[in-house]
Amino acid sequence: MVTIVIIGTVTALAMFAILMKLFAGDPPEAEKLQKGDIIKQLLALSELESRTGQKSPPARPRTEQVGNTTRPAKPSNDTKPVEKTSECLGC
């Protein structure tokens, strides 16, 4: 008698599991359709960007540095340092 109850319970659980797998398969298919629509929208946007991107002006080229930009190690003897004065010349 106990074995009949156990067999019935196992059979019911197996059928329940089969039914759950059958009904659980539907949403992923709907998700695939949504992914396809999203990809189509992204492709359309990228095509629009590529069309409008061609009309924009080209980027500025980098400027080259001319001459030596480093400072001399020691000040030359030709120039004298500026002295501070307390008099106001323009006052």
Tokens of 90: 């323009």
Section 68-89 average pLDDT: 62
Nearest Cα to Cα of residue 13 among 1, 21, 25: 21
Amino acid identity for residue 23 in this structure: F
* Parent domain of 14: 2-51
Report the pLDDT value the prediction gives residue 61, as an integer from 0 to 100.
66
pTM: 0.30
Residue showing tokens 């992923």: 28
pLDDT at 35: 86
Residue 20 lies in a domain: yes
CA distance 87 to 25: 93
Q: Is 84 part of a structural domain of the chain?
A: no
Residue-level pLDDT at 15: 96
What's the total number of domains in the chain?
1
Instruction: Give per-residue pLDDT as tens, 24-77.
Output: 765 556 677 788 899 999 999 999 888 886 655 556 666 666 666 666 566 556
In a domain, 85, yes or no: no
